[in-house]
Chain A
Amino acid sequence: MIDRYAYDTREEFLGKLKELVESGVPKRSINTFTPYAVHEAEELLDHSQSPVRFFTGAGAVTGCIAGFAFTIYTVLSWPLVTGGKEVVSVNAFIVIAYELTILFGGLTAFVGFLHLSRLPVFKNVLSDRAEFSRKFEIAVDRGGRK
C-alpha cells in the first residue's frame, strides 16, 4: 500500500517530508517526485553520494583496456603497415580506446542507474501523471519496500 501526498509548493512539500521523517517513517520507504531538484529533500532523506560512479568508473576502465586490446590484437593478427608507421601505433589507437572508454562508461552508468533506482517500475507510484511536471509529491510505501 502506498500513501501519496501532493503539494503545489516546495515549502509545504518539505514540511510534510520533515514531519514524516521525524515521525519515524523509514527513509528507504519514502520516494519523492519533484519538478526540479530539491536538495533539502535529499538531505532529509540522507541520500549519500550515489554509488553509480563505481559502475561508470569500472565501465570506463574496461572500455579503455578493451579499446587498446582490440586494436593491438587485430593489427598483430593481420598487420597492415600504413604510411610507414609502426604496426602497433599507440597514437592512432588512443582514439579507439577513448571512444570505448566513453561508450562503456556511459552504458554501465545507465545500467547502474537503472539498477540502483530500482527501475523500471511498472506499478503507478504517482497519483496523477498529468500533474507530475508541477507537483511536489511524496509516496510512502507502507508495505515496507526494501
Chain B
Amino acid sequence: MNRRDPSTRNLIAAAVVVTAVAAVLELLVRRDPDASLLVALTFFTMIVQGCVALVATAELAKGIWFIPIKRELLGVYPLLLVSAALSLALGAKTGIYPWSEHQNGWLNTGFFVIRNFVVLVASYLGAHKLAGAIRTQSPNKNRWAGLYIALYIVSQSFIAFDWIMTLEYPWVSTLLGGFFFVESVLMALAVAAFVLFFRMRTAGHGLTETLRDTAKMMFGFSVMWVGFFFAQFLVIWYGNIPEEVGFVLTRFNEPPWAGLSRAVLFLVWVIPFAVLLSRPLKTVPAAMAAVAGLILSGLFIEKLVLVLPAAKVSPGALAFETLLLLGLLAFFLASADRLLPQQVAGTETEAARRHS
C-alpha cells in the first residue's frame, strides 16, 4: 500500500471520514446508550475479518480457486483499523449491558473497551503482515496466515462473547464464538459472490470456475451454519434450564422475533440450500449474487434478533451507520488493485492456467 498514491490517499481519507462521522454521531449527537453502532459494527467487522480469514485459510490449504478474487478479499484488511477505532466508541454505550450497573473484574467498561480494541488492532497487524507476505511471496506467508487465523478466532470469540452475549448476561453459550466465526466466513463467501458478479459483468466468463467453487463453499458453510445453530438450540431445548431457555423462548416464541428468526433460517439456509443444489445455477452470476444478498440480509436480521430483545436501537442511526460502513467496504473492494497491485494480480495467470 503506497500512501503517496492519490487513490490510496482517497481510501485513507474515506476511512478516516467514515470513522469520524460514526464516532461523532454516537459520542456527541446521540448520547443515549443504544445498540445501533453495536449492530452495524458487529456486522461490518465480521465481514472484514471473514474476508481476510478466507484468504488466510485458502493460502494455508494451497487453494487455487480463490486466486482471482484474492486481491479484493485481502484488500479490505485496513478496515480492521476502522473497527478498532469504532470499538472505542462502544465504551460510551456500555449502558445497554445489564452488567454495567454491577461491574466486576472481567465485565467493567475500561477492560471491556481495552481488550476488544487490543484484539482488533492485533488482528489488523496480523492481516497487515499476511498481506505483506503475500505481496512479496515471502516464504513466511503460511506462518502469518496461521497467526491471522488464530487472531481471527480470538477476535470473533470476543465479538460474540463480549459484544453480543453479555447483552443477556448471565446467559451463556460456549458455542457462540464458534458460531460467529463460521458465520463470518459465510459472509465473506457472500461478498466474494458479489465481487465475482460485478467482475464477470466486465470480464466475461473467465471466472466461471471460481464462481462455481465459491458457490460450493457457500453451500457448505450455509449447512455448517445451520448445524452450529442447531447444536446450540438442541442442548438448550433439551436442558430446559430457566436461565438458558429464556433467551431462546424470547426469540422463537414472541412476536416479532419469532417471525424474524424463521426468516433468518429461510434466508441463510433453506433458500440457499435449495438454490445451490442446482449445478447449472452455480455458474450464473446473477443467481449467485441473489443468494449472497439473501445470506447477508439473513445474517444482518440475525444480528437484530440477537441484540434487539435486549437493547433498543434507533432505526435511523442503525440504517445510516450500516450503510456508511458497507459503503466504505464497497469502496475498498472496488479499489483492491490500489492496495495489492501487480504481485498478487500476477498469480491470477497461474490460476487461469490451472483452471484451463
Contact = CB atoms under 8 A, between A and B. Distances in A.
B279 interface: yes
A95 B238 contact: no
Which applies to chain B's interface (DSSP): helix, strand, loop or mixed?
helix
Contacts of B238: 83, 91-92
Contact of A94 (B230, B240, B279): B230
A95 B234 contact: yes
Nearest to A84: B240
A49 interface: yes
A94 B265 CA distance: 16
Contacts of A95: 234
A75 B240 CA distance: 20
Contact of B279 (A49, A84, A92): A49
A95 B233 CA distance: 12
A91 B237 CA distance: 8
A95 B234 CA distance: 9
Contacts of B279: 49
Interface in A69-117: 83-85, 91-92, 94-95
Contacts of B240: 83-85
A91 B252 CA distance: 14
Contacts of A83: 238, 240
14 contacts: A49-B279, A83-B238, A83-B240, A84-B240, A85-B240, A91-B233, A91-B234, A91-B237, A91-B238, A92-B234, A92-B238, A94-B230, A94-B234, A95-B234
Interface of B: 230, 233-234, 237-238, 240, 279
Given A85-B240, A92-B238, A94-B234, 11 more contacts: A49-B279, A83-B238, A83-B240, A84-B240, A91-B233, A91-B234, A91-B237, A91-B238, A92-B234, A94-B230, A95-B234
